[in-house]
Each structure stands twice: as C-alpha cells, then as structure tokens.
Amino acid sequence: MDLHILDHRLRVTSISKTGLEQYTHPLIKLIFLRNRTRCKFFSLTETPENYTVVLDEEGFKELQPSEHLQVEGSTWLPLNVVSNGNASSSSQSVGVTKIAKSVIAPLAEQHVSVFMLSTYQTDFILVREKDLSVVVESLVEEFNIFREEGGESVPVHSQDACNGLQRNGREVPHATVHPVLIPENQFCVMSLDPDTLPAIATILIDVLFYSNSPREGASIDQDMECIKFFSFSMIDGYVSLVMDTEAQKHSSGELWRMVRIGGQPLGFDECGIVAQISQPLADSDISAYYISTFSFDHALVPEEDIVSVTEMLQAQRMSS
C-alpha cells in the first residue's frame, strides 16, 4: 500500500460556542466562497463543547486571534493511505478500521500522537510535523511513502530505516482507558458535489451558525442522551458531511452511531487513544469513521454493530 504525506500544513483550532458569531464572516468565506480563498483543507466539527476547525495556513490566516479562538501550537501534516489494489487485506470494512493495524498501531507504539479526521471519501491521519521522521521510520516497512509537493508525489525513504526504532522490542505504552459515551443519535455520512453547495447554503448556514440556541427545559443530562454533533469538511474539492439524521430528514443509506471517547478533554499529547478503539474494531472487522476534535474523540460505527461495539468496549474497560 501507498502512504501519502499530503501537501497541506494544518492548524488545529477551537472556537468557543459563544465566539462563533464573530467568526461567521471568515467561516462562510471558507465554506461557500471558494473563489475568494486559497484554503484547500478545511474541516469544521461542532460538538457540545466547541467548534473544532482544522485548516491549512491559507485558511488559518482568515481567523483573527481572539479570546474565543484556541490554537494548538503545532503544525500538523495529513497522511492518507491509498490502497493500490494489491492490498492483501480482504476486509470490506471502511474507515479507520482499515488502517488500524498498519498505521494507527505502529504510530501508537512509537508514542506518536495522531489527530484523526475521517471523511466520506477517505481517512486523514494528522501527525505533528516534528514527528514526521519518526512517522516515516515507523511506517516505511509497511508502505511505499510519498510526499506530495506542488502536485508531484516524491518517494520518501527513511534516513536510516534499520536504525533506532525497535518495532518489536519496545513496549506498547499502557494507555489510559478513557470512559466512553454512546449517545442515542443516529448519524449519516454524506458526500456532496461542491457545485451544489450554493443550493443548500442557507440550510447549511442555518445548521452551522444558528441552531445553537439551547432548547428550553433541556438539562445537560437530557441533552447528553442525544449529542450535538455536526461535521463539515472540504478537502481538495471534496465535501463530506456528518449530520444527525434529525437534521437531515431525507437521509437514506447507512445509519451510524457514535462512541464518544473521553470523560475529560483528551488534549493532544496522549498517544494510543485511536489505537485503543480502532484495534478491537479491526479485530471484529467493524467499519468506523473516526473524528478527533479539540476536546474529545468520536468513532462512528454502523447502527447494526452498536450493541457488539458497546459490549466490546465494556469488556475493555472491565479488564483495564
């Protein structure tokens, strides 16, 4: 299989719920007015806590600093696995499950933090730029690695692949097992022709920027039975949406349920969180999208698998 280090230098940011209003102007530009921006990698995910915005440096320039904007300090690079048809895997599963053993596990073993961003089209594994050499060394045995630069794919060879990394000698860190929350919502994951974005602009704008008024009488506990979650990404011209089926009434197709990982905000430095969830899913060949945000991680699994996934995660928590 091929692994591509994509030509985007990304920032991971968070906009507070109360601060969204003042970022409406740049966000609408980034989402709907492609002619006015050179941003090629943009993702916005609403959770109950905040809005996570991941975007390239061109996009990041549009966000004025303020008390409402938190910016993770690193530059992140997106990795993308391209199955070239010769993959030995017979798995029909999609998403993070497909790369759990080949990418996620080795990076966790090498203590590399990852920020996952699954979309309808593919899965992006974001790693810190400063970790790149470790990443390459961890994955060079399994993959043909290419670095994309100005439209060209340049092969990357590990400086010294047999050098430091003791793939089998090193202990897999005994990661903290985080509590999980499994809300009642059903989600759909959709792609969208970007040329049709104008036609649904007011609907999307309404969902993104104006649907945040809390329902009266709903306590936080009640809200947590259903979780507010909405994700939009436009990456290299491909649009992907994750929406609650309540917001997208006409959904047909697969339904997905969410596992939210983390009782307290997870931060960016712990490694192995994605591995902890994706490993058992891969063992059972259960498809999963995986979306990291500023505070928590989110796995989406098929509706029909949620019972077995719940049991699996309970067992994992019991044994830890």
C-beta of residue 298 within 8 angstroms of C-beta of residue 259? yes
Is residue 193 near a copy of itself by the rule CB under 8 A?
A: no
Compose the 9-28 pattern: x for residues touching a copy of itself by CB under 8 A, - for all others.
Answer: -----------xxx-xxx-x
- Which CA distances in Å does 21 have to 39, 58, 70, 72, 209? 21, 21, 15, 21, 7
Is residue 29 near a copy of itself by the rule CB under 8 A?
A: yes
Paired with 288 in beta bridges are 95
Is residue 209 near a copy of itself by the rule CB under 8 A?
A: yes
Binds a copy of itself by CB under 8 A, chosen from 18, 36, 129, 315: 36
| Conformation bin of residue 285: beta by default, left when phi > 0, alpha when psi is -120 to 50 | left
Least distance between a copy of itself and beta carbon 25 (Å): 4
Is residue 205 near a copy of itself by the rule CB under 8 A?
A: yes
Is residue 212 near a copy of itself by the rule CB under 8 A?
A: no
Binds a copy of itself by CB under 8 A, chosen from 84, 86, 90, 202: 202
**For residue 320, which of 251, 272, 285 has the smallest C-alpha distance?**
272
Binds a copy of itself by CB under 8 A, chosen from 129, 130, 210, 222: 210
Is residue 33 near a copy of itself by the rule CB under 8 A?
A: yes
CA distance 73 to 235: 22
CA distance 272 to 278: 10
Q: How many residues bind a copy of itself (CB under 8 A)?
A: 21
Tokens 């430095």 sit at which residue?
269
Give contact residues for a copy of itself (rule: CB under 8 A): 20-22, 24-26, 28-29, 32-33, 36, 197-199, 201-203, 205-206, 209-210
